[in-house]
Structure 1
């Protein structure tokens, strides 16, 4: 294992946690992410920083396991996932990732993690009458009852993930995930505080991944763990996602070269 100086490591972890807390408090951040395949034999090269092209800095942050339970309405043909909305309970904490939808080059989401903000979003998204119910006092069982009684939202999958977290070049968050059903996938992420910074973040991610393409494999279909699960275990849901065109964007995003080319065109206009 690549040994790092303990003081910088602790400081880096504190900086990442501080940044995440700041965004979570203000409820106004956007995740820009690009998935990739990775060769497990190259992980040790990454951690020792002795690959084909050296990173400026590799910081291993943590390793953890967590369990996600995802929710949707089976009877109404999955009104959330067919719109790229992902409602989950992660180790008893509720989160809802809603698509920004500004570009087709990468996934970009606004993450909601307050129960009443999530409830308000669902009321607007799923209820034509847009009725307003009473606030929920952060009670897990009460929120589950609300989801079931009002929108018939029930679990459609449960996934346990072992995740390794890294900070690369002091800028890019990277996770390497391995699931309990045998699927592995990586993800590079940047967090920005406004929508007008999303495209710039996409270009930065694309440039970074191309520079270190010895580790990041983006050729062909790169399937995230949720899509891998649905493709294996829920044919009906997969078909509805195909019909909604969500799969086309997620499985066949713009190439990294196109992201950079389009970014150059945008800058010169």
Structure 2
């Protein structure tokens, strides 16, 4: 039994995130910590700009909640474990071998990262990201994409040796924490649908193409 548990257990990076809609008023309030009640602690972590190129093959990856990208030239993959576009749990991968194995399992084709794992580019855009640490635990980000879309996210992350059962429990616990956090400070997180950057990118691209 111990050997079986050891085989199932592995070190993963588990990220739970919930998107939220941004308005001019909510962004200004967040920057000033000006809502009621205010965050007891809100530390600005700075701004950075990065470029993402997303890859897929006949939607075999994205249709199953797998997103493979190059961020500033570095390969990354996010694998949805549960949730939807608004409220999700992801496992994050950064090793080229891991990503290559993942792509091969999903597409049935093994290819090197030097040829983009045999995938084709499906999206490319630049993001300006502002980050805060709220109450020493929650990361709040505001993303402004180069095609004019803004979206926010509240994130929690767990790293360590996590077996499948413990991973599910950790995910549920972090989702509950985020839900309570966003309800308490609802002034910073306006209600309504929040479109992720990829969804907004394709909607923008479609509308642009229909005009031309």
TM range (shorter): 0.7 to 0.9
- Structure 1 CA distance, aligned partners of 2:46 and 2:116? 35
- Residue 56 of structure 2 contacts residue 122 of structure 2 at CA under 8 Å; is this kept in 1? yes
> When the two structures are aligned, how many residues end up with a matched partner?
190
- C-alpha displacement at 1:234, in angstroms? 5.0
Residue of 165, 189, 203 corresponding to 1:231? 203
SS at match of 1:28: strand
Give the structure 1 partner of residue 7 of structure 2: none
Higher strand share: 2
Aligned counterpart in structure 2 of residue 212 of structure 1, from 182, 185, 198: 185
Which has the higher relative contact order, 1 or 2, with Cα contacts under 8 A spaced 6 or more apart? 2
**Whole-angstrom CA distance in 2 between matches of 1:41 and 1:118:** 40
Q: Secondary structure at the match of 1:47?
A: helix
Unaligned stretches of 5+ in structure 1? 1-25, 134-141, 236-269
> Structure 1 residue 61 and structure 2 residue 45: aligned?
yes
TM-score when normalising by structure 2: 0.82
Match of 2:139 in 1: 173
Superposition deviation, residue 56 in structure 1: 1.0
Q: Which protein is richer in helix relative to its size?
A: 1
Name the counterpart of 1:30.
Answer: 14
Change (3 A) 1:132 1:156: closer
Counterparts of 1:27 and 1:228 in 2: how far apart (Å)?
33
Gaps of 5+ in 2: 1-9, 208-212
Query: What is the root-mean-square deviation in Å for CA atoms of aligned residues?
Result: 2.1
8 Å CA contact retained: 1:179, 1:225: yes
Q: Provide closer, same or farther for how the CA distance between residues 192 and 27 of structure 1 changes in structure 2, counting only shifts above 3 A.
A: same
Tell me which residue corresponds to 1:143.
Answer: 113
Structure 2 counterpart of 1:100: 81
- Do structure 1's residue 91 and structure 2's residue 57 form an aligned pair? no
When the two structures are superposed, what TM-score results if normalisation uses the length of structure 1?
0.66
Among candidates 85, 96, 114, match of residue 95 of structure 2 = 114
